[in-house]
Each structure stands twice: as structure tokens, then as C-alpha cells.
Chains A and B, each alone.
Chain A
Amino acid sequence: MTGTLFLQTLVDGLILGGIFSLSAVGFSLIFGVLGVVNLSHGIFVLLGAYLGLALKEAWGIDPLMAIPLVFGALFVLGGLVQITLVSGAVRRGSLMSSLLITFGVSLMLRDLIILVFGPDVQSLSSSWLFDTFRIGGVIVDGARASGLIASLLSLGLLSYVLYRSKVGRAMRATAQQDFAAGLCGIDVKKIYAMTFGVSAGFAGVSGIIVGLINPFTPFDDTHWTLNAFVTVVLGGVGSPVGALLGGLMLGGISTFSSQYVGSLYPNVFIFGALLLMLIVRPNGLLGNAYKGSV
């Protein structure tokens, strides 16, 4: 039983970590390329969940099938937010202005969600949601397993785009030295907008996964922003692999501390790990603590 419990805890941690990774990768990308701490990240996660809900209710689209549509919609919205609002903060190069602007964006979008969907608890449902698989004594449920698979696929796709495509190269070049990238003919403003769009899109995709697993309200955004922040500090800024490692670490710390110390204490261990990482390795496991690491 002890061995099975350990394995179950490990699997639960990996699955939870996969979801944390996906929800954090956009935050990491924006910090890496734009140097902006995006406090509106959590609200983009929730927007993904609410868009999934709207598509399900309006046309009966299964939440997982809605992922491309949600990504597309939030890519456009994210790009527009960057061009109209966040670009000012980027121009000023001020951390404080980026914090204020993205916080303001999160408040506006939250009120918009309340206006459209109301403040009530919502959840995404699907016919396969409560299916479970048993591997030995270890139980894996459909929602979480699909969450982990979707996370790995999405992170793999993002890695491919970043490291194998022209746009990815332009993003990495902009992250390293935006002025030099501009001199080389890269349209830096366009890359900034695209990065914000891609990040918002990934946040939205993670919102679908989150919504399948947990009920959500418009007031849960701070939780996801904070999780993304911790994941990025643990894993390192700007790197999808860093986000994956950070997320898995966070998931593991959360489930193992809950199981073997007490369900009440995961936050103690999560923030303890955060402090330790900032002291011992401020750059995170991979990547750079500051701009220029993609």
C-alpha cells in the first residue's frame, strides 16, 4: 500500500505539474521577451475557461475540441491588449508601469466576465470527464490525464515554434537584444504583439484544462497568476522547458507535502521552495531571472 500510495502521489504531482506548466508558460514568455510581469495572466486563464463554456453552451462544442478556437480568440485579444495598453509600459521600460497596466487590464477583464457570465461558480463538463484508468493500483482520471497530454503537446509545439521557426527565432532575438533585432530587420513591435498574443492563447488553453478539472469563478485569477509566478521562478524565465520543470516541481511539492506532511501545508512548502530558489539559484532551474533568456 505504501508503494502504491507513493506512486499515486507521484502521478498526481506530475499531472498537477503539467497543468501548472501550461498555465505558466505564457507568463514566462512575456517576461522573457517583453520584460513585463503580466498581472493579467490569471484572467486570460479564466477567459479561456469561460470561452470554452460559451462554446459548449452555444454550439455544444466539447471543451477539448474548442482549444484551437479559444487559442485563436485569445491570441487576437492578447495582441490587441499589447498594442493598445501594454506597449506603453514596454516603451517606458518601467516595471512599475507594467505592473499597474496589467493589473488594470485584469480588473477590466474580470468585470467584463462578471457582466457577461455573472459571478456564479461555473464548470466545464464533458461525457468523458469522469472516466478513470487504473494502472496497477494507481488511478488516473480522464480530465487530468487529458490535461497532462494537452500540456505536453502544447509545450512541445511552443518549443518547436520557438526553436525551429522563423518567428521563434525573431522572438528569441528580440528577447536577447530588441534594439539589435530591430537593426537586423525584425519588426520588434509586431513580435511583442505576437508574443503577448501567443502567451494569452496558451493561458486560454490552460484555462480549458483548468475548467475541466476544477470549478471556476471570475475571482480565481490571482491564484493562477501567483502559480505562474512561482512556476517561472522555479523553472526559469522564458523557456518552455523551464516552465515544464518548474510546473512539475510545483506539482510534486504540492502533492508530496499534502500527502506526507498534511493537506493543509502545501503552500508552506511551495513558498519555502520559492524562497530557497531565489536565494540559491535566482535564475531558476533553467533560463534567466531577467529579460533575454528565450
Chain B
Amino acid sequence: MNKQISRRTALGLLGATMTSATALRAMPARAATDGVIRFGGSLGMSGRYAETGLNIRHGYETAIKYINEEKGGVQIAGKTYSLELGIVDDASDPARATTLIQRQVDEGVDFFLGSYGSNVVLPCAGITEAAGKVTVQVGGSADQIFTQGYENIFGFFPRASRAWVTSIEFFKSIEPKPKTVSVMATNSAFSKLNAQAAAAGCKEIGLEVLDVLELPEQVTDSSSALATLRARTPDILITTTVDQNSLVIARQMIATETNVPLLYQFLGPQLPAYRESLGAKADGVVMQLPWDESLEFTDPTFGDTQSYIDYYNATNDRPFSYHTVGASSCITTYIEAMKAAGSVDPLAVRDALDAIDIVTAFGPVNFTEDGDGDPILMGAKIGQVQGGEIKVVYPENLRTAETLYPTPTWAEKG
């Protein structure tokens, strides 16, 4: 009996100590604020999209940490709120993501941050829309997300079919004028949709589309497609593949001496891992550039882009990517919308997001009527790897380097 009481007492003391410690640790943040704004959502922190998922999570965390710790929370309609992040791992799996999002909706979360990958964002948007909850996301741009009449979802990128506006204009601006183009895609909705949009845009400006080559969803061998390219070499090769597949294709192009005057990879070269893997061979590769650190913007939370970068680097070990900055700007956008609405009511915030017109560290934020990013204001810039760094080569008013075209062959790159 004595032994039982003793164990209970010990457990009780341990529990009381832990509870007190937790309460004490939480007190300073809570004591200074009148409430907590909780952001929910899921992210692929494991699974096939984990790399980008982690980049996005770091962006969310950085903004929330900065607002809570450096600014003491946010003032909305005279009340001070601290922010809380309730992001969970969906393992890049749409089925798991929808289950997790439904649970958060049931728990009363009002504001959602998006996952990564249109195949995950789209079904989650259906759930939050039905529940009247708001989502701001930086990970999905498929047309279907924005063309179903959803009123509560906002995306930082223009929808996929409009994502090629800048790129097509860029192709038009290249001198000497390219005449032919080939497109390489994988068997996924994202890749195929972008390939169709790219091919259609190229045709419109008079480029002859030689081939649209399709590969399996996970590319391990593209040698056959590359043999076709060598037999019928275009002036521009566009790949609309995700990061890992883009790297496979580029490495195999180098290894098989498959040279094109311009290699344009929609995703991949933006990542440091891609450029480290290819070294000097990455020079000349062109990409869509949703954001670049050389572009300086003001930011209502951090002050400006450089201050954001400095704070991020001081508080994180992981290198930032454009998704990271976009994710931080999602939080800033939410906060500015809440301030404009003077409320944390989801419908009022939704209306404020509809009308928002601000500049963040990521760039201008202005959504279309359907909720996707304005194709001009939020459309991608065009970047090219030069000397191991990404330079902005289009549009001309933001240019940090001239376009290198035609690019040297792989062998000439050293």
C-alpha cells in the first residue's frame, strides 16, 4: 500500500512539475496577447514532395516565429493576437491529407495554409470550401483548383494554363530567333497540363513544335526520348517535370551529349541540390523563377526582402527556396487581410483577401476573381543559371543579366 501511495505521489509530483513548467513556458506569449489565431493545414513533410514540403514549412514557421517573438503578435481591431501553426504531415498523400484536413475542420480551425502538389491541394480545397474556411497556399496551381467556383481558396501562383505567359514572351524576345521547340513531360496531370500550355503558347508565336515526348511519372531512364531529341534537335527543349525528374533528364542529357541551344526546365534548377549536382554543367539552363533574392521588395512584416533573408538565415539551417519565401508571405498576406477586415471572422478575412493588393518579400500579392495569382503581377520571371548563380533574364525591367543564347554545349561547359 505504502509503495502504491509513494508511486502515485511521485507521479503526481512529476505531472505537476511538468504541467507547471509547460504553463510557465507558455505564459509570456499568452500573457501579452488577447487571443490566438491558429493556422491549420497539411504538408508533405515525408513522401515524394518532402523536399518542397519542408521548404514551405520552414517559411510558415519563420513568419510565425518572427511575428510572435519579434513583433509581440499582431494587432487586429485593437486586440493583440499571437499566431499558432498546426501543420501536420500528409506524407504527400491526398487521401491522408483530406482525412487530416477534415479533422482540423471539425476541431474548428478557421484558417488553412496549403499543402504542396495540386493533387493534394485540390481535394483539400473541396473540404475547406464546403466548411466555409479560408485557404491561402503556395503549392498548387492546377486550373481545376480555381475553376470550380470555389470562393475561399487563394493561390500564390497563376493557374497552370496562365503560367506560361511570361515564358512565351521570353521565347519571343530571344535573339537570334529560335524556330523550333520540343516539350518533354511525364505522365502526371501537372506535367501534362503544363506541357499542353507550353506547346500551345509556342505555336501561337510561330515556333514549330517538333515533338511532345512523354515519360513515365517517375523517370529513371530517358535515353530513348533523348535519342529522338538527338535525331531531331529543337532550338529549345522545354521540360515540364518536377524537381527529381528534371535532374534525371539533365544528367542523362549531359551523359549522352544531347545538346540543345536552350534547355528550359520548369522546375528543378531553382533548387540548390540541382545546381550542386550538375556543377558547371548547370550553366545556361533556363527556368521559371517565381522569386529570386536579387529582386527587392518591401514587406509589411519583415520590412523588405533582404531583412527577411537575414532573419531566415539567422534562425534556420535549411537553405531557403522560393517556396519558403512564398510560404512566409502567405502568413503576411493573411495578417494584412485580417487587419484590413478588422476581424478574424473567416468570411470577412476572405473578402479582404479578395481585395488585397500588397507587396511582400515574395513580390506583389493580388488575386484574380477566381483566387489564383494575377498572371502579370504574380507571374513568374525567367531565370538562367550563369556562373553557378541564378540570374533574372526576363522581363527586361527586372533583368540582372543578359540571356545567354545559344548556350555552350555540355562538353564546352567544363
Contact = CB atoms under 8 A, between A and B. Distances in A.
A259 B277 contact: no
Interface residues of B, number: 40
Contacts of B216: 263-264, 266-267
A130 interface: yes
A283 interface: no
Interface stretch (A4-12, A95-103, A156-164): A4-12
> Which interface residue of A132, A143, A219 has the most chain B CB atoms within 10 A?
A219
B232 to A, nearest CB: 10
Contacts of B213: 263
A215 B251 contact: yes
A191 to B, nearest CB: 34
Contacts of A16: 221, 223
Contacts of B254: 130
Interface in A205-258: 213-215, 217, 219-220, 223, 254-255, 258
B244 A121 contact: yes
Contacts of A8: 223, 227
B273 A122 contact: yes
B15 interface: no
A142 interface: yes
Interface residues of A, number: 38
Nearest to B221: A16
Given A8-B227, A139-B257, A259-B227, A214 B214 contact: no
B50 A219 contact: yes
> Which interface residue of A1, A8, A120 has the most chain B CB atoms within 10 A?
A120
A125 B271 CA distance: 17
A125 B250 CA distance: 14
A262 interface: yes
Contacts of A132: 255-257
A114 interface: yes
A263 B214 contact: yes
A291 interface: no
A214 B51 contact: no
Contacts of A217: 48, 50-51, 244
Contacts of B218: 220, 223
B227 A130 contact: no
B280 to A, nearest CB: 10
A182 interface: no
Interface string B272-308: 0110010101000000000000000000000000000
Nearest to A260: B224
Given A8-B227, A119-B54, A139-B256, 5 more contacts: A5-B231, A12-B221, A123-B251, A215-B248, A215-B273
